[in-house]
Amino acid sequence: MMKLNQLTINEARQGLDKKEFTSLELTQACLKAAKEINPKVKALLQITDDLAMQQAKKADQEIKKGQVGLFTGLPIVLKDNMLLKNTITTGGSKILENYKATYNATVVDKLNNAGVIFIGKANLDEFAMGSSTENSAFDKTRNPWDLDRVPGGSSGGSAAAVAADMCIAALGSDTASSIRQPASFCGIVGLKPTYGRVSRYGLIAMTSSLDQIGPLTKNTEDTLSLFNLIQGQDKKDATTYKTKPVDIKCLMNDIKGVKIGMPKEYFIEGMDAEVREIVKQAIKKLEDLGAEVTEISMPLTKYALAVYQIMATSEIATNLARYDGIRYGLSAKEPTLQKVYGQSKAQGFGNEAKRRIILGTFALSAGYYDQYYVKAQKLRVLIKKEFEQVFKKVDCLVTPTTPSVAFKLGEKYEDPLTMYLSDIYTVPANIGGVCAISIPCGFDQGLPVGLQIIAKPFDEQMLFRVANNYEQATDWHKQKPEI
Ligand code: GLN
């Protein structure tokens, strides 16, 4: 018997509409699960019970009046780098430990207008920098499939909350991997939308030219629904485009004749052999379902991570300059302004933030700017063009999401370079500005493996179509961890 907190978006909607349960009951089931499981998994930094109960009562009134949309009364979790007015929003950093948001992010406004219930704020690597959620200043989130392992990062809290059924769905943000890699590690679906398709107004900036907000959910249809709710132009974010929601009917189309490219650079030596085998079987399945799979080559893939390191650290150094002890958050008590700046940063930022500020400042400094930053920008254009070229020949690409399954806590923490390598298959999609999804495609030693599908900009419907066909033919996404 399914518990209410285990439901998908559609199942919850049907149950609410048929009056099998109320939003209050659904919300209480999620809050109960969150309170029981969170002490072990540490997915949520904050459980917003009061707000949730208040919103649930309001949703039930609306449901009674028959004024419902797909999301009315559904409990959702937000990554704690999205502003929810009057609620502490930490960005995973000590520097914002007591920072109360003064306005709503655009995605939060959209969820609010749709009648969503906010259950809590999810843990993350400090300012979304990391691949394990171990860089959080507050808690180390655990993987619901194995509490000794990381949930991935930086949206590890959001992914673990969905995998552990503390909520119906969650939002995360993805700059290099941060939705897809934790989705893969936790056995759920995660989407990085096309750059410019979802507003980042009210998202704490990390690498502004790459950051995107996206859904983490229990299946592809839910990802499509949540994506449709948050996407579209926002006059408060000048990088957004005028786009329409994806027609849900795309899920009904089969994939006969869909041209899928398998880039050989994503199946390299050094990746986990089991993961490669499982992903290859998943690709075989897509072939059985009628897709035409061909091996292709994307030789610039090998530069993506290096380009990312330069671009990301440069933008991070710039974006984090605003935390100076004067404008936001922690302010060191010091006699001079210089010392307030210095000490606020010294006390407020964790090691990864400091490392990246130093690297980014170096990459942008006079004398090195041309060698590093400008060169990275040139390569970025070439990588984008390489995607454009392949998408003239194929409809989408399939790859592993990560080179291995979830690793142990502490395993890579002291070794940032190895940690950075976890992003190797996900970062090209951010650099190229394209869209990509990760879906569950099997298990290695009891741990989930993710299949990544990549499509051209604004072609999310292709991702949903291929992912849904795979899901209908398998039941990996239905597996639940025992906690
Ligand atoms: N692993 C990436 C990093 O450390 C994650 C960034 C992201 O997607 N937010 O930079």
State the average pLDDT for the chain: 97
pLDDT value, residue 67: 82
Structure tokens at 260: 């899928």
Residue 154 catalytic?
A: yes
For atom 4 of ligand 1, the residue with the nearest CA is: 130
State yes or no: is 136 an active-site residue: no
Ligand 1 atom showing the smallest separation from residue 179 Cα? 8
- 470 in a domain, yes or no? yes
Residue of 23, 42, 79, 173 with catalytic role: 79
For 113, other C-beta atoms within 10 Å of its C-beta total 11
**pLDDT per residue over 154-181, tens digit each?**
999 999 999 999 999 999 999 999 999 9
Q: Is 122 exposed, middle or buried (0-12, 13-18, 19+ CB in 10 A)?
A: buried
On the question of pLDDT at 1 being above 80, the answer is no
Q: Does the pLDDT at position 268 exceed 90?
A: no
Relative orientation angle of helices 106-113 and 220-230, to the nearest 10 degrees: 110
What is the Å distance from ligand 1's center to 247 Cα? 30
Residues with Cβ within 8 Å of residue 28, at least 6 apart in sequence? 56
Contact 402, 275 (CB under 8 A): yes
Total domains in the fold of the chain: 1
The strand pairing partners of 215, in sequence order, are: 171
Residue 267 domain-assigned (yes or no) = no
pLDDT at residue number 431: 98
Ligand 1 atom closest to the CA of 174, numbered from 1: 8
Is residue 60 one of the residues assigned to a domain? yes
Cα 258 to ligand 1 centroid, rounded to whole Å: 31
The answer to whether position 315 is within a domain reads no
What is the per-residue pLDDT for 9?
A: 98
Mean pLDDT computed over 245-263: 97
Give domain status of residue 367, yes or no.
no
Which residues does residue 263 pair with via DSSP β-bridges, in sequence order?
296
Q: Given pLDDT bands bounded at 50, 70 and 90, which one contains residue 2?
A: confident
Distance 402 CA to ligand 1 centre (A): 13
Q: How far, in Å, CA of 326 to CA of 346, rounded?
A: 14
Q: What is the pLDDT of residue 270?
A: 85
> Which among 92, 3, 13, 15 has a CA at the least distance from the CA of 46?
92
304 lies in a domain? no
Other CB atoms within 10 Å distance of the CB of residue 256: 10
| Domain CATH for 90 | 3.90.1300.10
Residue 408: domain span = 4-257+394-478
Q: Residue 196: pLDDT above 80?
A: yes
> Does residue 403 lie in a domain region?
yes
Residue 404 falls in the annotated catalytic set: no
The answer to whether residue 16 is domain-embedded is yes
Contact residues of ligand 1, CB 6 A cut-off: 128-131, 154, 174-178, 206, 312, 423
